[in-house]
Every structure is written in structure tokens, then in C-alpha cells.
Chain A
Amino acid sequence: MELIIVFISASLVNNFVLTYFLGLCPFVGVSNKTENALNMGLATTFVMTLTAAATWPVYHYILMRFNIPFLEYVSFIIIIAALVQIVEMYIRKSSPGLYRSLGIFLPLITTNCAVLGLALFMVLRDYNYLKSIIFGFGAGVGFTLALLMMSGIREELEFADIPKHFQGTAITMIVAGMMALSFMGFAGLLR
């Protein structure tokens, strides 16, 4: 039961993009086409789940054990960079088509603050191992959901008559604001 709550909280109620503002760069950058958004979301979800699985033991069994918590940020970012590299190599070997369609977005997952934010929140909230993995997966699902919805809206926006100064990023921000408002409705799920 608790695991379900962690999942729902990470994906809907405390959606990383719409309440913590994490992962906004890809949210604005990759959300102009639904297909790209879906692929990017899936790759990020995968990396986030792996990150949760890999950083938890490093934090609890290495950093805590040897009493060097000040290395937290450096070691987390190295783990994330290494994971992204491995995922990139794996996708290039196993499905070259997907690799080509993701292109530059794959390495950019390293600088997606949602991934680092996930590791930091996981430590801050003192989750156990299983909860951390569910948390990572849920946050990834929430990220994918927000990205997909945004790309759907933006495809429609191309046909809309937007005032000149609002075109581009400005209207994206306002749409995101409205999405954040509507996501507040999910808050009731946890009470």
C-alpha cells in the first residue's frame, strides 16, 4: 500500500515537472512533437529507475559507511553520467533506429535536473531500497506524462492564432501554468 502511495505521489500529486520544476529544459525543448516526447520520456524513465537503484546502495553502503557524505553530489553526478553513457551504448547496439531518433537528447539526460533531483529527494526523504526504486519509476512516469500532454497541446497550438509576443516559449510557460493548476486537483488522491 505504501508503495502505491509513493508511486502516485511521485507521478501525479508531486509531479516533478509541474510542482518541483525539475526537468524543465527537455520539457520545453523536446515537447514539440509527440513521438519525440514519448521516446524521450521512456529513456528518461529508464535512466531514473536505474539511478534510484544505483545511487541508494552507494549512498548507504559507501558514503555513510566511510562517513564522507560531502562527496554526495560529486558521486551522484558521476553515477548518473556513467548510467547515461551505458544506456546510450546499449541502445546504439540493440536498436540503431531508436538511437538515431533520440539523437542528441540521449546524452542530455545527464544534465536533466530531474534525475539528480530524484537522487537528492530519495536521500532527503530516507526511503528504503524498494521505495526508492518505485519513487524513481513513478517520477519517470510523471515526467513522461507531463511531456506527452505538453506535446499534444503544442501540436494543436501550431494552428492557433497566438499574439505575436507570446509565440514560442511564453505560451508554453502559460500552458504549463494551467497544467500545474489542473494537476493540483490530484492532491485529493493522497488524503
Chain B
Amino acid sequence: MAVEQNASLAYEFKKGLWQDIAPFRLVLGLCPSLAVTNSVINGLSMGLATLGVLFVSCVIVSFVRKLVAPQVRIAAYVVIIATIVTVTDLFLQAKFPPISKALGPYVPLIITNCIILARVEAFAQKNPVLPTMMDSLGTGLGFTFALIIISIIRELLGFGSILNIHILGSWFRPWIVMILPAGAFLVMGGLIATVNYISHRSEARQRAG
């Protein structure tokens, strides 16, 4: 019984990392994954901020899941999320002012990040606290991971650097388009296609084997 439970907890954690990785597979949370990924540091801090909000909101919703009337649940969840985002925003402003400035209005926009409401609605409101923790951690880490990949590609091609450290030599002419909005869409399209390619191939291999 205990082993079974552990296995299912591990599954809840792992599924968000690849099988259901939010921006690529479920097309959720697109706004932040495109808007703040022009440098790795922005992508990383956005990912971590979202992870924190996701984790705390899911845990709170899981705790109060039997107290909230189903008719008003969405409104109640949105207020919970908005409160936590306010706290996060104030925390960033106090402790990391440069990051808070770089992310700008995209911190409050975490409220309308569909990943959070989707996880709350689909998982946290039906499950006890422990699986909810694993689920939100996995989803949040998967989201952070996706943001880091997108921002590494964009910063490398757009500035020739990663985390502000120049990697490519002076021969490299930055692709300005990668920092512009258009580049974000193109990188995202390419990455979704790559994820599709990998999963199509592993499906084909499974069928053959």
C-alpha cells in the first residue's frame, strides 16, 4: 500500500515535467512563456515566481476544497490566486527590485496564467494536500524548465550571451529578431514542433517494439 502510494505521488510529480509539460503540450501559459523570455534571468525568475504562486494556491485550495460551494468556486479560486500574486509582487519589489522592474506588469498577470487555474480546477480541488503538492511542484518545475529553454535560445541568438555572459565570440552578429516579439513566436513554434517530433518518434518506436 505504502509503495503504491509513493509510486502514485512520484507519478503526479513527474507528469508535469515532460508528459504534460504545460507550454509545449497543453498550450497553457503562453503569455509569460513568450513575453519575458528575452533573457535567461527573466525567464528563470518568472518561472520561479509562477512555481511559487502555483504551489501555494494549489495547497490552499486543496485545504479548503470541502468548504467552497461549487457555484462560486471559480470566483473564490481567482481571489485566492490574486491574493497570493499580490504577496509575490510585493515580495519581489522589496527583495529583488531589478527583477520586479524587468518583469513589470507580467507579475500581476500571473493571476490570469491559465496553468494555475487549470491545475486548481483539474487537480487541487479534488485531491488531498500531499498529491496536490507533488502535482503543482511538477507542473511548476516543468513550466520553469520550458521558460529556461526558450530564453536560452532567444538570449543566445539575440545577444550572443547566456545570463549576460558572452558565449559567442565577436564574429557573431546578433539576430535582433530573436529579442523582438516575432522571434518569440518563431522559437515557440519550432520548440512545439520539436516536442511533437520527439513524441511521434517514441510512439513509433513503441509500436515497432
Contacts and interface: CB of A to CB of B under 8 A. Distances in A.
Contact of A178 (B89, B114, B182): B182
B34 interface: yes
B108 interface: yes
A124 B106 CA distance: 12
A180 interface: yes
A112 B200 contact: no
A153 interface: no
B86 A70 contact: yes
A73 B185 contact: no
A181 interface: yes
B164 interface: no
B114 A111 contact: yes
B185 A81 contact: no
B78 A110 contact: yes
Contacts of B180: 180, 184
Contacts of A23: 31
Interface stretch (B4-12, B54-62, B186-194): B186-194
B83 interface: yes
A117 B79 contact: no
Given A165-B196, A180-B180, A116 B30 contact: no
A184 B182 contact: yes
B86 A73 contact: yes
Interface stretch (A36-44, A56-64, A127-135, A166-174): A166-174
Contacts of A81: 74-75, 78
Interface of B: 27-28, 30-32, 34-35, 74-75, 78-79, 82-83, 85-86, 89-90, 104-105, 108-109, 111-114, 117, 177, 180-186, 188-190, 192-194, 196-197, 200
30 contacts: A24-B30, A25-B27, A25-B30, A25-B31, A70-B86, A73-B111, A74-B83, A78-B78, A81-B78, A113-B112, A115-B112, A116-B109, A120-B108, A163-B193, A165-B197, A166-B189, A166-B193, A166-B196, A167-B196, A168-B192, A170-B190, A170-B196, A171-B189, A173-B186, A176-B185, A176-B189, A177-B184, A177-B185, A181-B177, A184-B182
